Structure 1
Amino acid sequence: MKAGAVKNRDDLLVLAAGRLPQGRYGGSLAGLGAVALGRAAVEELLRDGALPRPGSALWGMARSHTQGMNPARTLALEAGLPPETTAFTVNMACGSSLQALIVACQRLRDGAEGAILAGGSEAMSDTPHLVPGLRWGFRIGHRQAPDVMHQDGLLCPVTGLLMGETVERLAAKRGIARTEADAWAAESHRRAAAADFRAEHLPHPQLDRDECIREGVREESLAALPPVFAPGGQITAGNASALADGAACLLVARREQAGDARPLARILGWVEAGVDPLDMGEAPVPAVRRLLADHGLRVADIDLWELNEAFSAQLLVCQRQLTLPPERLNVTGGGVALGHPIGASGARIAVTLIHQLRTRGGGLGVATLGIGGGLGLAVLFEVV
C-alpha cells in the first residue's frame, strides 16, 4: 500500500543515505579500521553541496578497541566537519547505528538546531586480542589473550552463551528446521547476487562490490556444512551472517532544515523492545507489533521489510510469527549474503530499505533487528 503524506515543517526527513560496499572478513577493507571506514562513508555522503551541514554526528560502533576515544568525534573531524560539530559514539551491539538514527530523530523532534549525521562503522577484521593482567605484570604461568570480537561481541554475558547458541535454542523452540534455514541462506545469496546496489553504494578506492556475496550457492552445498555450535545443530558457516567490514550513514533533518536538498524518505516512528536474553533473536517481533499498532497499520500495509539476518533461523522465527511475506522481505539479500558488520548493520538495512522503496516507486518500509542481550529495534519509513 502506497501511503500519501501531508507535508509538515516538523517532518523527520532522510536527506541522504548511503553505505560502503561491505568487505569480507580479512578481505579488501581489512587493516583500515572502523574510524577510517566511517570517515570514507561520511566524506562521500556529504559531497553533495545541496545538503545542509550536520550540527552533530551520532555514530554506532560495537567494537571500538584501538579506535581511540569517542570515534564519532574523530571521524567527524577527519571527514572535514568543523570543530563546533558535536559527536558521540553509540554501542548497542547489533543495534548501534539504528539506535544512533533513533536518537538523532529524538533530538530533532526536541528542537535540535541543525541536521544530524547518523550511522555506524565496524572493522571486524581488525578487532584485537587482549592480554588481561599485563598492566601489573606476570611472574610465571600461561595467560589467555581473549578475542574482543568473541568476548565483547558474540558472547552474551547474561546467559553465558554465544549468540549462535541462543539461536539454536530458539530455532528448536519455534520449530525451524535446518533445511529451511539453508534454503533461506541460499535465497539470500541469490537475491544479493541479482541485486543492483549502485544507488546505495558510496565509492571506496579499495572495494567496488559487496565482497561476501557468493554466486551459485545451492541448498545442497549448504547442507554439507557441519554445525558450528552443537552436534546435530542447524547453524553453520553457510546459514549464519558473514563477518564483515563496513560503514553506512544517513543525514536526517526536520523539513524546515532541508533547504534545497530533496528528501529521500520520511521517518514516521520507532520502537524499542526487550525479551528474555535466551530469546534474543525474536526481539524484532514485539518491536514490530508495537510499531504497527502505534501507527494503526497491519503487516499487509508495509511494502518492504528489512530484517537483519544475523542467522537464517533467527530471521525465519521472526518471519513466521509476524507472517511477513517472503517476497517483501530482504528483497536484495541480507546479512547472510552481504555480511553483518555489527555497528554498521542497523544503518545498512535502513539505507537499503530506503533505496529499494525508491526503486519500486515508494511506499512504507520497516527496518528491524534483534540485539544481543534480548533487545529489538524497529523503525518505520515512508518514501513518496
Structure 2
Amino acid sequence: MRNPRDLVILAAGRLPQGRYGGSLAGVGALPLGVSAVEGLLADPALPRPGNLIWGMARSHTQGMNPARTLALKVGLPSDTPAFTINMACGSSLQALILAAQRLGAGATAPILAGGSEAMSDTPHLVPGLRWGFRLGHRQLPDVMFQDGLRCPVTGLLMGETIERLAVKRGVTRLEADAWAAESHHRAARADFLAEQLPHPDLHHNESIRPEITPEALARLAPAFDPRGQITAGNASALSDGAAALLLARREQAGEAPALARVLGWSEAGVDPLDMGEAPVPAVQRLLTAHGLTVADIDLWELNEAFSAQLLVCQRQLGLPEDRLNVAGGGVALGHPIGATGARIVATLVHQLRRRGGGLGVATLGIGGGLGLALLLETE
C-alpha cells in the first residue's frame, strides 16, 4: 500500500564522468553541479525543491558554501536554504540521507540532494605565504593528497590502507585485476541512457576501456608498495562528475511518478586502517534493521574505490557477483569523490528499473573508517 508519507525519489541522474585531465578538466565542481541540477530539473512535471543539500569533498576555489551558489545559479528562489557537506567519499550519499531525514521530520517541500567533484581542478596550496617567506625552500601541498587521498589519522594514503587490508583478508593481485577488467567490460555493455544527464563538453563516460584484459592489467607496476598489488588499473579512476536526486514525500510529488522508495539507511565506523571494509558493518546493520538477508536484495551498488576493497566486502557479506555493480563501478566509471554516493544511487535506481524493479542497496567506505548504506525499492 502506498503511503502519502513514503519517502520517494522523483528524479535521479548524473553527468557523464570525465577522466582526470580529460574533457571536463577546467570546468570546476560548481559548474558541473549546475549542469547536473539543470538537467535533472528540466522535466516540467517535477515539483520545485525547497532546499538543496550538496556534497563536495574538494571545495577549494569553489567559493563559500557552494551549495548556496548552486541553488541560486540554477534559478531556485533566494529564500531556498542550501548547505554543503564534506564527508569525503560519503558526501553526496550523506546529503541524500539528510534529505530523507528532513522529509521524514516534516519538511514542507521536496529536497534536492547530490554532489559534484572536479578532481582535475584541485589546486596546490602555499602554506605560510600570508605572512611572507624569508629563507629556505617551501612546499606546495596537493589538495588531492592533503585533503583527500591521505588519512590524517593513520598518515597513510587510501591505497596504502587497502594494501594492508588485502593482505589481512587474503585478496590477491590476480583476483583484483580480474575484477577490474570485469568492471570495464560491464560498464562498456551497460545502458546508461536513463541516468545520464547532458553536458556540452562530454557525451560518454571517458574512463571506460572495453579492450582491457587481466593480462594487460598484470603488467602495471604497483602504485604504493613495490611488492604490493594496488595499481592504477585496479583502483578507481580519478575523475570529474556530478549527480543529483530529487526526494519528496509521496504527497508532495504532484503529477510526477516516483522512481523508487527510500526504505532506510545506516552508518558504521571501523578502525581507520580498515577503512575499506566499513561497508560490511553498515550493510549488516541495515539488513538486520529491516529483517532482510543478502538473498532478499535484487541489486547491489558497492563503490569500487579499489578492486581489492570491493572483493573484501563482497566476500564478507556473501554478495552474488551477478547482482553486484552490474553496470561496472568506480574502477571503470571513475570516482569523483563528492559525487559518487549520489552516482551509485542513480545507477542503482535505473538499473533496478531496467530489470523489473525490486530491492537495492547502495553502500560505500569512507576515508577515516566510516561506512554508509542505503536501502531502496523501485516502484
Same fold, judged at TM 0.5 (above): yes
Residue 127 of structure 1, CA deviation: 0.2
Aligned length, in residue pairs: 379
Q: 1:134 aligns with which of 98, 108, 129?
A: 129
Q: Which residue of 2 aligns with 1:288?
A: 283
Q: Does 2:62 align with 1:94?
A: no
Residue 76 of structure 1, CA deviation: 1.1
Q: Does 2:320 align with 1:340?
A: no
Q: Which residue of 1 aligns with 2:69?
A: 74
Task: Write out aligned runs for 1:1-384 (5 A).
Answer: 6-384=1-379
Residue 378 of structure 1, CA deviation: 0.1
User: Secondary structure of the residue that 1:369 maps to in structure 2?
Assistant: strand
- Superposition TM-score, scaled by structure 2 size: 1.00
- Superposition TM-score, scaled by structure 1 size: 0.98
Residue 241 of structure 1, CA deviation: 0.2
Distance 1:255 1:327 in 2: 32
Residue 141 of structure 1, CA deviation: 1.1
Distance 1:10 1:56 in 2: 18
Write the deviation string for residues 332-354 of structure 1: whole angstroms up to 9, x where unpaired: 00000000000000000000000
Write the deviation string for residues 249-296 of structure 1: whole angstroms up to 9, x where unpaired: 000000110111001000000000000000000000000000000000
Distance 1:259 1:62 in 2: 34
Distance 2:237 2:250 in 1: 37
Gaps spanning 5+ residues in structure 2: where? none
Distance 1:76 1:348 in 2: 19
Give the letter aligned to residue 212 of structure 1: S
Distance 1:171 1:365 in 2: 26
Write the deviation string for residues 77-122 of structure 1: whole angstroms up to 9, x where unpaired: 1011111111000000000000000000000011000000000000
Residue 240 of structure 1, CA deviation: 0.1
Give the letter aligned to residue 361 of structure 1: G
Give the letter aligned to residue 15 of structure 1: L
Residue 370 of structure 1, CA deviation: 0.1
Gaps spanning 5+ residues in structure 1: where? 1-5
Residue 140 of structure 1, CA deviation: 1.2
Distance 1:286 1:215 in 2: 33
Give the letter aligned to residue 282 of structure 1: E
